Chains A and B, each alone.
Chain A
């Protein structure tokens, strides 16, 4: 009993804050607190709405590509940073800079770069590479959001992957080279499997952040398709459908939890290799 009481200051706060928010949103999504009483109508409405599915598709593709892009980009940088490089501290500081730029500011910066009369278009026009400006902002697919997600999250992936790569003993890497592994084989067969826990953590955390992203999607996202969080925002504040917004909120949470499990299951088989090399019926 005494032990449980000791947990209250830490765990109690978390449970209270998380629990009360979750409780409210669940109650709201089933309309339990409304004058009509508990109903599945809001869930039914939301799940029959094609806009929701377009939003789920849009959010999933931008967050999958964004999180994958960030870790794919972070791996070679982390491998490179393992070496002794002059000015390493300054390089690491510069690489981490995007973490300190708020999402909204970053989105506006990107818009300035890729807008119709932005730096990119003007530069390409000046160089004579294009005849007329390209329309690449607020694209339907969500590439501008993907680019922003990668830009913003690569430093975070880099922190997790770098510490994991640096914790691999140098003699394990020496042994790999000694046994004839090329640089690619060394990465794919030794470094990658040994950094799977860090990769899982990076992928899941970035994915969940990207799935619930509002800042990038509202500034640089598509004008035709909403991301889930933008849809939730408009549903609640423009249409005053708070119960339906609560349903969308719960869908975001469920999708995050489901995706975390899927990402873990997909990446887990890469972590160990224990399958028998010699079959049971081997005669020699």
Chain B
């Protein structure tokens, strides 16, 4: 459907896209996720035709399109600022693309009526964008893009201007419309929660390069390196010395939490590697479970649904990061107390080699 092949783009010395390749299947929702300046919007704008790649190819439905102007590509973009035409009513905004395509007026009315009902803006159809709320404006932008029946719909951080509550509801609206109409979607965001909640596939970008590509579960539970582990959610990362155990897929690791057992289908890439685990993976030790470790509580925060605990093991020096644990049960302890936790062996993940 959409194929990105070896795309490279530089702005003077800055490499915005460095040999990027990926595919988006028909009806798939793919998110480009990364911190500010990682090149995700540049990549999206190259797909939309607003930037020209220095090298590489972009194909949609078997047709090469990277040499075409934006108006000649069958893509539709939802901009971060919505980019609604301030002088046109909601209806005229939605019909703008249809007018350019010279779609007959009767068909325009049908498409418009359908789009308005899809985004629930029938009552606002003759208002100007300035008379709408942020969420409503976003829905107009979405309707304006959808009505074009594009091969690929592109979203550039569309929810970043909305407040937290509205963001959640519009997130679900976009996702359900995408599923319902089987829209092939490329979505750009720096919000990992948004990416995890909406995507079929996430592509994590950093400094113009793809760090990891996979399903939200893959990216969260099976990060390939420290950048991905740290960028998506919270992660505890330790240097570890690994040795193989007799049991299949079992490894013994020595790290600053002590000696732990790791069960992993993927073998570590070297003897000294980084390991990571999620703060919610650990739980309070009940008795003599495997993989117990002890930490001294340094900070404690009750957040309602979880208790956030920060602590340090006896092997950690002061300069090192502490350990973060999130517990779903209320923990009756206090700062300075020593607590014992268990880390299930299948929740520890091997990352890249430690290069000293």
Contact = CB atoms under 8 A, between A and B. Distances in A.
Nearest to B102: A180
A26 interface: no
B75 interface: yes
Nearest to A173: B83
A282 B126 CA distance: 15
A202 to B, nearest CB: 18
Contacts of A175: 77, 79, 83-85
A178 interface: yes
A178 B93 CA distance: 13
A277 B70 contact: no
Nearest to A192: B87
Contacts of A236: none
Given A177-B70, A271-B87, A278 B97 contact: no
B81 A169 contact: yes
A279 B108 CA distance: 12
Contact of A273 (B75, B87, B125): B87
Contact of B126 (A185, A190, A271, A274): A274
A274 B92 contact: yes
A273 B48 contact: no
A178 B71 contact: yes
A185 B70 CA distance: 14
Given A176-B85, A177-B69, A178-B70, A277 B100 contact: no
Contacts of A172: 83-86
B69 A276 contact: no
Interface in B12-52: 48-50
A178 B87 contact: no
B112 interface: yes
B130 to A, nearest CB: 10
Given A174-B70, A273-B88, A278 B112 contact: yes
Interface residues of A, number: 28
Nearest to B101: A180
Interface string A163-191: 00000010110111111111001000110
A190 B85 contact: yes
Given A181-B71, A272-B87, A189 B81 contact: no
B109 interface: yes
A255 interface: no
A274 B148 CA distance: 21
Nearest to B100: A180
Contact of B96 (A171, A174, A176, A279): A176
Nearest to A272: B87
B89 interface: yes
A174 B77 contact: yes
B91 interface: yes
B79 A171 contact: yes
Contacts of A178: 48-50, 70-71, 75-77
A53 B125 CA distance: 50
Contacts of A282: 109, 113
Interface residues of B, number: 39
A194 B88 CA distance: 10
Contacts of B50: 174, 177-178
A193 B87 contact: yes
Interface in A250-284: 271-279, 282, 284
A178 B101 CA distance: 12
B109 A180 contact: no
B125 A276 contact: yes
Contact of A284 (B77, B83, B86, B113): B113
A273 B70 contact: no
Contacts of A279: 109
B71 A284 contact: no
Report which residue of A174, A271, A284 has the largest number of chain B beta carbons within 10 angstroms of its beta carbon: A174
Nearest to A271: B87
B71 A194 contact: no
Contact of B92 (A174, A273, A284): A273
B71 A182 contact: yes
Contact of B97 (A179, A194, A271, A284): A179
Given A194-B86, A273-B88, A180 B126 contact: no
Interface string B113-129: 10010000000011110
Report which residue of A171, A189, A277 has the largest number of chain B beta carbons within 10 angstroms of its beta carbon: A277
B96 A277 contact: no
Given A175-B83, A181-B100, A277 B128 contact: no
A178 to B, nearest CB: 5
A178 B95 CA distance: 13
Contacts of B85: 172, 175-176, 190
Contact of A277 (B75, B77, B109, B127): B109
A180 B98 CA distance: 9
B86 A278 contact: no
A246 B50 CA distance: 60
Contacts of A278: 91, 109, 112-113, 116, 125
Interface string B45-83: 000111000000000000000000111000111011101
Given A177-B70, A274-B89, A274-B126, 10 more contacts: A172-B84, A176-B85, A178-B75, A178-B76, A179-B144, A182-B100, A272-B89, A272-B128, A273-B88, A282-B113
Interface of A: 169, 171-172, 174-182, 185, 189-190, 193-194, 271-279, 282, 284
Interface of B: 48-50, 69-71, 75-77, 79-81, 83-89, 91-92, 95-97, 99-101, 108-110, 112-113, 116, 125-128, 144, 148
25 contacts: A171-B80, A171-B83, A172-B86, A174-B48, A174-B77, A174-B83, A175-B79, A176-B85, A177-B50, A178-B49, A178-B70, A178-B75, A178-B77, A180-B101, A181-B100, A185-B100, A190-B85, A272-B128, A277-B108, A277-B125, A278-B91, A278-B109, A278-B116, A279-B109, A284-B110
